[in-house]
Amino acid sequence: MASKTSTAQAGRGSRRGSAALGGLFWLLALALFVAPFLRERDNIGSYEGDFGRDVVADSETDKIDLPFEVDVANYEKDIAPGLGAHIAAASEQYFGLESPWLRDTGAVEFLRIPSGKQNFEIHCVGCHGATGDGGGPAARYLEPRPRNFRRGLFKFTSTDAASRPQRRDLFQTITRGLAGSSMPEFRLVNEEKRWDLVEYVRWLSMKGEFEQMMLDDAYENEELPDAADIAGIVIKRWHPANLRSIFPGVNETPNDAASVERGKKYFNDVAKGSCYSCHGSSGKGDGPTAGDYEDDWGYPIRPRDLTAGTFRAGAESVDLYRTIAAGIKGTPMGSFEGALKPEEIWDLVHFIQSLSKKELAQ
Ligand code: HEC
Ligand code: HEC
């Protein structure tokens, strides 16, 4: 019974994979075609299209719906007259690239922005969209969806649950890509340009988070939000000084049979994080609650099949340690820092590595 389910799952996975590959060429062509129009819209500088309500996909028709323009109109009428213009002006004042305020915070490396923007428009808009809302022209064909940067929420980070990502987390994602998703690796883009891209993604994300918070605040309080307050909160969240990193508390313990055995025991232990409840005791991603989850962007999400050896955030011991300790933000895979001792996390890492090795050996 269990093996029947997992075969069906594997089949579905590979069909999806080849469909995604097959579609990639013309998706890129489409992206290249549409990019100039997006740039034009961006240059106009009007607030239309700059408000990132989350991209909502209708699972029946697979259509992406961008409700933000409608929303602003409704908010204005019902909640706070002048809201749209207020947010547009505040966004320019606090997060515009000419903003002296933003410059003084020291949270953004301005020198990197022009090149970051240029490279983002060449390599990234087709999927992530000009405003970073994850709604690029290719997005509707992709699963998982390209990230919407406008919520400040990133999955693969070395920081604790409350912190925004470090620059080097984004750098790693951009450099290596995310295995098992359509997010490509950009090793061939030179290193300086990848850092420029990191800075541009950070800036898009701060600006988006600010606009989103302004909108949410207006909705909650039914009045024009206090822009200075909200800008201050966003900058605090992103300031490198406020990002708490999760580092391995001890060096990697020996990766031997005893460690794998302990890892297996913890994996199936309710008191040690209940990994099995989502990932299944054999790690196939078929635990009792596996079908129950959505991610914070509103899409269904399944626990990973850990026997496949495909790890988005990397398969090295230190990568897996980071994933287990920091969790995957915005998904049901929480952070286990504190709940597990560092040496227990290393045992889990070794057990997980043994699962895909076993699979390959068969
Ligand atoms: C072909 C589509 C595609 C292109 C092109 C693309 N991405 Fe992505 N990107 C994705 C997908 C899909 C995800 C989400 C994967 C997931 O949720 O696991 C993603 C996620 C990300 C993330 C979030 C990682 C996290 O921790 O949440 C960052 C940052 C990112 N991409 C940056 C970029 C940059 C910068 C470029 C251009 C240099 C780029 N992407 C180009 C598809 C793409
Ligand atoms: C509540 C459900 C849940 C629990 C409990 C859980 N996970 Fe996960 N895990 C997930 C989901 C969902 C994903 C896939 C996230 C994604 O697609 O981005 C995942 C992904 C992973 C990955 C893949 C990371 C990558 O780079 O692709 C690893 C490794 C992992 N989990 C290990 C563990 C370990 C070890 C435990 C127990 C300490 C655990 N998980 C507990 C839901 C869970």
287-313 core/surface letters (b: 16 or more CB in 10 A; e: else):
beebeeeebebebebbbbbbbbbebbb
Q: Is the peptide bond before 248 cis (omega within 30 degrees of 0)?
A: no
Among 38, 127, 163, 199, name the best residue to mutate to test ligand 1's pocket (greatest count of ligand atoms within 8 A of Cβ): 127
Predicted local confidence at residue 10, as pLDDT: 36
178 Cβ inside 6 Å of ligand 1:
yes
In the chain, domain spans: 23-242, 257-361
Residue 180 alpha carbon, nearest atom of ligand 2 = 27
Q: Scan for tokens 């990994």, then name that residue.
A: 275
54-83 core/surface letters (b: 16 or more CB in 10 A; e: else):
bbebeeeeeeeebebeebbeebbeebbeeb
Angle, helices 68-78 vs 191-221, to 10°: value is 30
- pLDDT tier at 223 (50, 70, 90 boundaries)? confident
Predicted local confidence at residue 247, as pLDDT: 77
Question: Distance, CA 213 to ligand 1 centroid (Å)?
Answer: 23
For ligand 1, atom 22, the nearest C-alpha belongs to 147
Give the mean pLDDT of 111-134.
95
pLDDT at 271 over 50: yes
Give the mean pLDDT of 151-157.
95
Question: Distance, CA 147 to ligand 1 centroid (Å)?
Answer: 6
Give the mean pLDDT of 298-308.
93
- pLDDT tier at 36 (50, 70, 90 boundaries)? very low
pLDDT at 117 over 80: yes
pLDDT at 283 over 80: yes
Residue 179 alpha carbon, nearest atom of ligand 2 = 27
- How far, rounded to the nearest angstrom, does the alpha carbon of residue 344 sit from its chain's CA centroid? 27
For ligand 2, atom 43, the nearest C-alpha belongs to 333
Among 279, 281, 317, 351, name the best residue to mutate to test ligand 2's pocket (greatest count of ligand atoms within 8 A of Cβ): 279
pLDDT at 345 over 80: yes
Predicted local confidence at residue 52, as pLDDT: 37
83 Cβ inside 6 Å of ligand 1:
no
333 Cβ inside 6 Å of ligand 2:
yes
183 Cβ inside 6 Å of ligand 1:
yes
**What proportion of the chain, given as a percentage, has pLDDT over 70?**
77
Write out pLDDT tens, residues 286-298. Answer: 999 999 999 988 8
pLDDT at 69 over 60: no
Q: Which tokens belong to 232?
A: 């201050």
356 Cβ inside 6 Å of ligand 1:
no
Q: What is the pTM of this model?
A: 0.83
pLDDT at 79 over 90: no
303 Cβ inside 6 Å of ligand 2:
yes
Q: Scan for tokens 């990973």, then name that residue.
A: 304
Question: Is domain 257-361 classified as CATH 1.10.10.60?
Answer: no
- pLDDT tier at 13 (50, 70, 90 boundaries)? very low
pLDDT at 216 over 80: yes
Predicted local confidence at residue 67, as pLDDT: 40
Better pLDDT: 319 or 18: 319
- Phi, psi values for residue 64, rounded to 5°: -95, 135
Strand partners, 337: 340
Sequence-ordered list of residues with C-beta below 8 angstroms from that of 205, at least 6 positions apart, any chain: 132, 149, 150, 152, 154, 164, 238
Give the mean pLDDT of 197-223.
92
Q: Which ligand is nearest to the CA of 272?
A: 2
The DSSP annotation for 239-297 comes to -GGGPPB---SSPPPP-SHHHHHHHHHHHT-GGGT-HHHHH-TTSSS--TTGGG-B-TT
Predicted local confidence at residue 128, as pLDDT: 95
Predicted local confidence at residue 208, as pLDDT: 92
Question: Distance, CA 303 to ligand 2 centroid (Å)?
Answer: 6
For ligand 1, atom 41, the nearest C-alpha belongs to 124
pLDDT at 53 over 50: no
Among 21, 128, 238, name the best residue to mutate to test ligand 1's pocket (greatest count of ligand atoms within 8 A of Cβ): 128
Question: Distance, CA 299 to ligand 2 centroid (Å)?
Answer: 16
Better pLDDT: 228 or 75: 228
Predicted local confidence at residue 119, as pLDDT: 98
Q: Scan for tokens 């000009």, then name that residue.
A: 130
